[in-house]
A = this chain, B = another copy of it.
């Protein structure tokens, strides 16, 4: 299945993300997708063999894109603390700006929809973060703990805060973002 119009593929994926983020995977219906995209059912099935493939493809594309853009703008030869700060801010900014996409990803991760290939994309996202943390440990700046532990603290905290913020329960200002990054730093600091 290698069809022509890449715009349509993107439109379908985008609408998929929007619908799943809004109503959850359980409520995601192909007919709603057809309406939102103004494409016939058959057209969608011309690009994706099934609902499952659509979800998986959308997930993988998103993961790849995210992984790429979260690590953007980090000077590979820079100072560790600055790299760390940049990464945190990238992540926070990205998650806020592309919140629907992150929600979509989380819905998928908690579901039975993802196939083995898709789940691999998940792991890859942590690679650069792990490399950075390893570097930090070498420089004696970061606690000598498993990366899983360190990463969880950084990401888990940020996620919850941003979700609260986007749910309207909390206002996220530049100042609170600073505080958030500082907390993560304090947590992992040697």
Chain A residues packing against B (C-beta within 8 Å): 23-28, 103, 106-107, 110-113, 143, 145-146, 148-161, 164, 169-170, 176, 179-180, 183-184, 186-189
Contacts and interface: CB of A to CB of B under 8 A. Distances in A.
B161 A158 contact: no
Contact of A157 (B23, B157, B169, B189): B157
Given A110-B107, A157-B156, A157-B157, A183 B187 contact: yes
Contacts of A154: 157
A76 B158 CA distance: 30
A155 B23 CA distance: 25
A133 to B, nearest CB: 13
Given A111-B26, A112-B27, A160-B155, A170 B186 contact: no
Contact of A158 (B24, B156, B186): B156
